[in-house]
Amino acid sequence: MSPLLEAFGGALALIASGDRALLQIVLLSLGVSLAAVVLATLAGLPLGAAVAVARFPGRQAVIVLMNALMGLPPVVVGLVVYLLLSRAGPLGSLGLLFTPPAMVIAQTLLIFPIIAALARQGVEDAWVEYEEQLRSLGAHGIGAALTLVWDIRYSLFTAVLAGMGRALAEVGAVMIVGGNIDGVTRVMTTSIALETSKGDLPLALSLGIVLIALVLALNAAAHMVKEAARRKYG
């Protein structure tokens, strides 16, 4: 039997057995990434909407920066957060390094530009369509931006989902600031890297399968919500 098939069989058996260590890793992954998505959405959606609607000097530069930061390398984000949180760093006294909160911070910084940039694009497209009507009705500024965000809420789902996918899939940032400590900061992607290098391919592959299944399920759910909304609200 080929090693890949062998590993695949082992992976399915491990998933079916409901292995506790596996479950713990999956839950921590989900917890860290969901927390990061919530925080990045709370900050990114309003920022994206504001940049879409507001006109100020340097706006084009801000848009370019936001778009560029979508491709931020996770290891660089991890390194910066590491320097901030390390004993000698400005936030070292908080003692957060190598804890799940540090991983949430790093992932929040990583996906915040993704959500902000995609929200900016979506809100701006809607603004082009609605601007005259909304201004005629007397809506402006934050009120107008909130109206747009609410109106395209199902499209913004995609932005949030892109952030979630990125957070779940990245390994560099959580590896550096989390340290991949067994039972404490070990998540799916860091375990896959570790187990692969140790040669425990079934565990690595089973984690990979769970990861892909999770991302698939998330996207399928979001797609269904969006389609239902499109049929309902046009």
In the complex, the smallest distance separating the C-beta of residue 62 from other proteins, rounded to whole angstroms, is 24
* CB-nearer residue toward other proteins: 15 or 156: 156
In the complex, the smallest distance separating the C-beta of residue 231 from other proteins, rounded to whole angstroms, is 9
Q: What is the rounded distance in angstroms from the CA atom of residue 208 to the CA atom of residue 126? A: 38
Q: What is the rounded distance in angstroms from the CA atom of residue 174 to the CA atom of residue 115? A: 19
**Residues forming the site for other proteins (CB under 8 A):** 129-130, 132-133, 135-139, 143, 147, 151-152, 229, 232-234
In the complex, the smallest distance separating the C-beta of residue 229 from other proteins, rounded to whole angstroms, is 8
Q: What is the rounded distance in angstroms from the CA atom of residue 120 to the CA atom of residue 24? A: 36
Task: Say how many residues make up the chain.
Answer: 234
* CB-nearer residue toward other proteins: 129 or 182: 129
* CB-nearer residue toward other proteins: 198 or 230: 230
In the complex, the smallest distance separating the C-beta of residue 129 from other proteins, rounded to whole angstroms, is 6
* CB-nearer residue toward other proteins: 139 or 209: 139
In the complex, the smallest distance separating the C-beta of residue 226 from other proteins, rounded to whole angstroms, is 12
* CB-nearer residue toward other proteins: 57 or 138: 138
In the complex, the smallest distance separating the C-beta of residue 222 from other proteins, rounded to whole angstroms, is 17
* CB-nearer residue toward other proteins: 15 or 126: 126
